[in-house]
Structure 1
Amino acid sequence: MTSASELRSGKTHRDENFPVASWIIHPRHRELILAFYNFVRTADDIADHAMLDAATKLNYLDLLEAELLGRGTTQPEAVGLRRALAERGMPPRHALDVLIAFRMDVTKLRYEDWDEVIHYCRYSAMPVGRFMLDVHGESTSTWPASDALCAGLQINNHLQDCGKDYRNLNRVYLPRDALDAVGAKVEELGHLKSSPALLRCLQGLAERTDVLLGEGRPLAAEIKDFRLGLEVSVIQAFADRIVEMLKVRDPLSERVHPKPIEFLMSTIGAVGSEIGRRAFGKRPVSNPAPRA
């Protein structure tokens, strides 16, 4: 088989909606974090590859898993992560969880309700946050807030890319019951502009995502590692900015990705706020609304 590396999309950690192993993170952690990112990005690109059939995609994902677990040395991203984890004495549990999500991407093209979407996020997004917390030696008591933040980030991405996912992959993460509730049709995602019904659905889902992000807001304060706390505060600021755009804009016809200057200003503001919060011992205010 062709090396999975050769099937990469070209997207790197610098192209994400959130910082990955940025300058904020302590240098001793960056190599491991980037090894994890490269493994996950490779698997994600396999699952999304437009020229591969489902069986071939699943074979590649199985191969990445096998080599992550020590059975083979042909896939650089798997071997690199395996070695990086071994150096730290960490198990591959979070990377294995993410592979479950990518297999779902290959075999599951529609989601019936919000709970199914959250179940997908349990494997696509939540393991990433848990991995970062484990790398920094944080308590598992931080996982609930991390899970909420990571799920919110994932659904933000689903809403931003809903048109592209439908056109390129026939994949729809919008819950079927949410579309039905407003009388919108899946096929409308192929249009250049959302219908009023589809826009109500998208913006309603953004409102639900905002609740998730509110549940994740205490995370930075729960984290003991100063640098990771700063990084999380920046990620939270990015996510909050994106969901605010999604609540009022149409992702089929309008920009729903912050500009570089907006990312820069969000970073500066979030870092300053988190430093001040830690200096004065204040806790962030979480969204009081319950998770739907």
Structure 2
Amino acid sequence: MKVYRDADIEAASGKGAGDENFPVGSFLIAPPLRPHVKAYYDFARGADDIGDDPDLDGEEKIRRLEAYRQVLHGEAKGLTKPEALRRSLLATGVPLERGSDLLRAFKQDARQDRYASLSELITYCEYSACPVGQFLLDLHGEDRALFPASDALCTSLQILNHLQDCSDDLRKIGRSYLPIRWLTEEGAAVEDVLADRASPELRKVFHRLLDVCDDLNRKAEELVGGLRSRRLAAESAVILRLAKRLHNRLRTGDPVAERVALSRTDFLAAGALGLWQGALMPRRAA
């Protein structure tokens, strides 16, 4: 069996849970489940760091991500984060694919830096974002009939993050997630995100993507009321409210001119309302 070393595979971004837009393994998650959420987050963070390392070429990124996959699936050993997630998933009965599906998206990032259409972008999100929500549902033993609502929320979060980081993604790693077809239709170009401010044409593309997020957020409302776990319902309600707040900020702000981010007030308000909603809404019968 092949043995890898962390030092030969890992890449460091310096990012942690505190840098995320949305709560990661917050106190709302039941204490016995938090170590499993942390194992999943650490794995995803490590793989994402490899995928976004500007000093690695595409083939080297794919090689390292494949090492992650091999260790996760027990075909190799020696990497701390994939081994920790493998133990967690085997212990909880969550499919290993919840981890390796993420790797598929990060490998795609190493090969592809433009997206022709919204459909192509949504397909990417099915692997880059949706496995996270599916992991949480499986971890809590929730009904997989809720996957579509969870996928909607995760896809919305991913697109909002792409809009938030559109300038940095192109400037630092040469990547754009804005649909080329929409850019062409509105008379804009990928490189427009490198200007001092968003042009009217580029803003039309932003608004079209925000319209998509609006629809996805409405679909995601089904998730909160459908969950049996009050803790997970509260966590989901908080995240959905934060998504809506970031959506509204991106509607009026300009992510090309400055970073559009959530404030402490946003987090406090969404937290309070999410806790209330999760605690008081009727739950599905177990």
TM-score range, shorter chain: over 0.9
Q: Which residue does the alignment assign to 1:39?
A: 43
TM-score computed with the length of structure 2 as normaliser: 0.94
Look up the match of 2:56.
Answer: 52
Question: Do structure 1's residue 62 and structure 2's residue 90 form an aligned pair?
Answer: no
Q: Is the 2:115–2:178 Cα contact (8 Å) retained in structure 1? A: yes
Of 273, 277, 280, the match for 1:273: 277
- 1:220 correspondence with 2:224: yes
Greater CA deviation, 90-99 or 144-153?
90-99
- 1:41 is displaced (CA, Å) by 0.7
Q: Which runs of 5 or more residues in structure 1 are unaligned?
A: 282-292
Displacement after TM superposition at 1:5 (Å) = 7.0
Cα distance, 1:2 vs. partner?
5.5
State whether residues 230 and 278 of structure 2, in contact with CA within 8 Å, keep that contact through their aligned partners in structure 1.
Answer: no
Alpha-carbon deviations, 1:14-44, whole Å to 9, x = none? 2211111100110111111110111111001
Contact 1:32 1:84 in 2 (8 A): yes
Q: Is 1:146 paired with 2:178?
A: no
12-21 vs 227-236, which moves further: 12-21
CA offset at residue 71 of structure 1? Answer: 2.7
1:192-207 counterparts in 2 under 5 A?
192-207=196-211
- Number of matched pairs: 280
Task: State the AA in 1 paired with 2:159.
Answer: I
Q: Which residue of structure 2 aligns with residue 128 of structure 1?
A: 132
Corresponding position of 1:258: 262
CA distance in 2, matches of 1:179, 1:72: 43
- 1:98 and 2:102 correspond: yes
Alpha carbons 1:102, 1:124 under 8 Å: kept? yes
**Pair 1:181 & 2:215 matched:** no
Q: Is the contact made by 1:234 and 1:271 (CA closer than 8 Å) also made in structure 2?
A: yes
Contact 1:4 1:42 in 2 (8 A): no
Instruction: Report the identity percentage.
Output: 38
* Alpha-carbon distance, 1:70 to partner: 1.4
Unaligned segments of structure 2, at least 5 residues: none
Contact persistence 1:112–1:176 (CA under 8 A): yes
Tell me how far apart the structure 2 counterparts of residues 75 and 2 of structure 1 sit (CA, whole Å): 5
Q: How does the TM-score come out when normalised to structure 1?
A: 0.92
Q: Hey, what does 1:26 align to over in structure 2? A: 30
Residues in 2 aligned to 1:8 and 1:129: alpha-carbon distance in whole angstroms: 25
Q: Is residue 10–residue 50 contact of structure 2 (8 Å, CA) maintained in 1? A: no
> What secondary structure does 1:134 align onto?
helix
**What is residue 194 of structure 2 aligned with on the other side?**
190
Residue of structure 2 equivalent to 1:241: 245
Partner of 2:16: 12
Q: 1:278 is paired with a residue of what secondary structure?
A: coil
Post-superposition shift, 1:4? 6.3
Distance 1:206 1:246 in 2: 8
* CA 1:39–1:195: 2 relative to 1, 3 Å: same
Report Cα offsets for 1:197-220 as digits up to 9, x if no partner.
Answer: 111211221122111111111101
In 2, Cα distance between equivalents of 1:273 and 1:141: 21
2:217 is matched by which residue type in structure 1? L
CA–CA separation in structure 1 for the residues paired with 2:202 and 2:28: 39
Q: CA deviation at 1:254?
A: 3.6
The answer to whether the 8 Å contact 2:77/2:83 transfers is yes
CA gap of 1:27–1:4, structure 2 versus 1, over 3 A, is farther
